[in-house]
Amino acid sequence: MQIKTSDLILVRGDGLLGNTIEVVTHSLYSHVAGLAKPNELIEAQGFRKTGYQGLDYYAGSTDVYTCDELTDEQRMLIVDNVENYIGRRYSYLLIVWEFLRYTVGLSLAPSKDWQPVICSTLWVNVYRAVGIDLCPGIRFPTPGDIANSQLLRKVGSV
């Protein structure tokens, strides 16, 4: 399996938070990262700023998804766009918002200017910036929403 830049790495949780996300969102996955360089992911992760992580960090608990519609130019633009997020803080408020959406069906209408960064919104936003909407109609998708995207194809596991 060849992983290309901008391919998405969906992670199955192995701790309390990851397992909780999977149960609440009815998904196999609790985290999303994307390949920015060979063996280097960019991710938004709780308790640290958005940045790089080695691909091997998630070995044994990930599936790789690709978007066949992407051109090489779009893949490069996605990586350029995601690098602009490096150093941004993780949005715990969005995690609370998502929890309320899934547990009690409360769908708040936050400001259109609100651009929170969590793992899934990070990657959906940079794909949207190049004209690929992985999750149409879902402003703040979860890892499970991304995995269900009609535009992605699972290509293997790491």
Contact by Cβ (8 Å): 153, 63: no
Q: Is the dihedral of CA 131, 137, 17, 12 positive or negative?
A: negative
Q: What is the CATH number of the domain that holds 118?
A: 3.90.1720.10
Q: 64: burial class by Cβ within 10 Å (0-12, 13-18, 19+)?
A: buried
pLDDT at residue 68, as a whole number: 97
Assess if residue 98 is contained within a domain.
yes
Rounded CA-CA distance 22/30 in Å is 5
Rounded CA-CA distance 58/136 in Å is 28
pTM, entire model: 0.89
Assess if residue 78 is contained within a domain.
yes
Token look-up 């009690």 returns 104
Q: Provide the domain limits for residue 116.
A: 8-157
How many domains would you assign to the chain?
1
Contact by Cβ (8 Å): 31, 18: yes
Q: Lay out the sheet containing 51-54: strands in order across.
A: 51-54, 40-43, 31-37, 8-11, 62-66, 153-157
pLDDT at residue 122, as a whole number: 97
pLDDT at residue 32, as a whole number: 97
With vertex at residue 47, the alpha carbon angle to CA 43 and CA 51, rounded to the nearest 5 degrees, is 30
Mean pLDDT, all residues of the chain: 90
pLDDT, mean of each 10-residue run, the chain (158 residues): 93 77 80 95 93 94 96 97 95 82 74 81 97 94 95 95
